[in-house]
Amino acid sequence: MSDPQTVITRFAPSPTGHLHIGGARTALFAWAYAKGRGGRFILRVEDTDRQRSSAESETQILDSLAWLGLGWDDGPEHRLPSGERVGGDERGVGPFHQALRLGIYTDHLDTLIDAELAYHAFETPEELDAKRQHARAEKKAYRYDRAALEIPKAERIRRAESGEACVVRFRMPDEAITVHDQVLGEVTVKPEDMDDFVIRKADGFPTYHFACVVDDELMGVTHVIRGQEHLINTPKHVALQRALGFRTPVYAHLPLIMNPEGSKMSKRDKDRAAREAAKRAGIHTTPVPDLDDSEFKAWLGDSKKQLPTFSLEALAAKLGLELPEIEVDDFQRAGFLPEVVCNYIALLGWSPGGDLEKFDAAFLKETFDLPRIVKTAARFDRKKLLAFNTDALTAMGPAEFKRRWRSWCESEAPDLVRKLSDEQFALMAEANQPRSKTFRDALGFSSFLLVETGEIVYDEKAVKKFVHKNEGQGLRALGELRETLAAVEPWSPAEIESRVEAFAQERELGMGAVAQPLRIACTGTSVSPPIGATLAALGRETALARIDRALEQLAEPAGA
């Protein structure tokens, strides 16, 4: 164990989904608080929900934390993007998966049962539901009635040992419990507002309440930093700590993260966006092969239902919809910088003081403290995050932008990396940096390089505006420009740009009247990087072939 004065925090996700941005903020604050005080940061996997926990979710969570740069001292071993390995069990307080700690929990559970501070209960789910309905009918809050305690202790133990289905409940003390919270102050819960909650489920696994209390004690956790949604659980945890003779850590409950309009930021936002888009498009049967039609229709009609992640993403692709970023890997795939995400979410419910908003992880470690956490909910402003990211990309050195964009593309757009030479990639990096708010933007501006010449689809509105307007002025200019471009030497952005400008001046045409038809011929649209960089990246042979195809495909029929 560590020195009693060592600050030890933990982040304890359940591997039942991807890492929500709110969970990332919790991890960030716990990491910063410990690291800024020379302490230790623990990562613990709370996988006692055996039906919903998955190895895929755990990997995703660990990868997201690693991407954010939040390395942990104790916990599952993992490799950061830098190549550094984190985790391990230097202090001998593992394992760090709760499913591997059942023997530890059983020992402490037996202690409570022997002291008659916990007891087996045998009601079926149907019996408990009937009692809840009865309480609702009488307009009363349901509390477990301790019916199991009418059974003698020896009989309860005998029935449990014989294999009869049962749970174990903790016997709450008949006294008020006060939580001393560093953010919310003193929070007191009266005994009539608490009942004997379950600490071991019928499947033999401990509940969250029991496992986390035992683990926090045995792992030496001194400070528990978590979301305000857990505040309702904390009196239960304090009662358990007292019953087991454990310390009570310092608690700090963080404000919720809300959408700008005030709703809670959650994965349901993705389903809502997709549901609204599907209804606008008039889609009533599933357009996704792996999604059952009846499931799709039920989802359409029920705002509370959620589709599996892969089905939701496939549906969004069919609808041409960009789902709102909710989980950390959403922001990673969207091309945000991890240091920008950390900087921004640090401001959700906390401030370093003054007007300072932009800072790095080192500053956060030195500055973060609990008293500056606010009580009220924070609003997640995607426009502000995007502005932060834009500023960071703009300020980045060209070599750094190229390196990091390439690294992002290797994961999110490997086809671009495979198809482009180093020279082409460098051209696109240099051309796209000033106009990109995210790495995904830079990819979008470069997507014309992934399309085969014979598969280019021309934007009809752009063709009408820049190619066919003024009796085909753009098309004529394109035909004449083709011969000029064929003679350009060297084939470089600066030389191409210079020759196109000279061509426009010689014919007393605006640059747009020449460059836009050329851009449409080479990319299919009127939006691309600067024309010199666009053609240079394509290469002379491909650029001329695209111009030839456009001259053929976009020629207006006689009399049109």
Q: Which residues are catalytic?
A: 267
Preceding amide of 490 cis, omega within 30: yes
Distance CA 508, CA 518 (A): 17
Q: Which SS3 state, helix, strand or coil, does residue 331 take?
A: helix
Q: Is the dihedral of CA 424, 425, 426, 429 positive or negative?
A: positive
Q: Which SS3 state, helix, strand or coil, does residue 92 take?
A: coil
Tell me if 451 sits within 8 A of 524, measured CB to CB. yes
Task: Please name every residue paired with 539 in a beta bridge, in sequence order, or none if there are none.
Answer: none
Distance CA 179, CA 412 (A): 46
Tokens of 546: 């695209």
Of the candidates 122, 115, 111, 116, the one whose C-alpha atom is nearest the C-alpha of residue 144 is 122
Burial 132-155 (b: 16+ CB within 10 A, else e): eeeeeeeeeeeebeeebeebeeee
DSSP 558: T
Strands (E), 58-212: 75-79, 85-88, 118-121, 167-170, 177-181, 185-189, 198-200
Distance CA 231, CA 540 (A): 65
Kindly report the backbone phi and psi dihedral angles of residue 225, in degrees, each rounded to the nearest multiple of 5, phi listed first. -110, 120
Tell me if 433 sits within 8 A of 401, measured CB to CB. yes
3-state DSSP of 427-468:
HHHHHHHHHCCCHHHHHHHHHHHHCCHHHCCCCHHHHHHHHC
Q: Which SS3 state, helix, strand or coil, does residue 77 take?
A: strand
Distance CA 79, CA 348 (A): 28
> What Cα–Cα distance (Å) separates residue 171 from each residue in 15, 89, 236?
29, 34, 10
In order, the DSSP letters of 70-116 are ---SBEEEEE-TTS-EEEE-TTS----BGGG-HHHHHHHHHHHHHTT
Q: Directed axis angle between helix 422-432 and helix 439-446, to 10°?
A: 120
Distance CA 259, CA 337 (A): 21
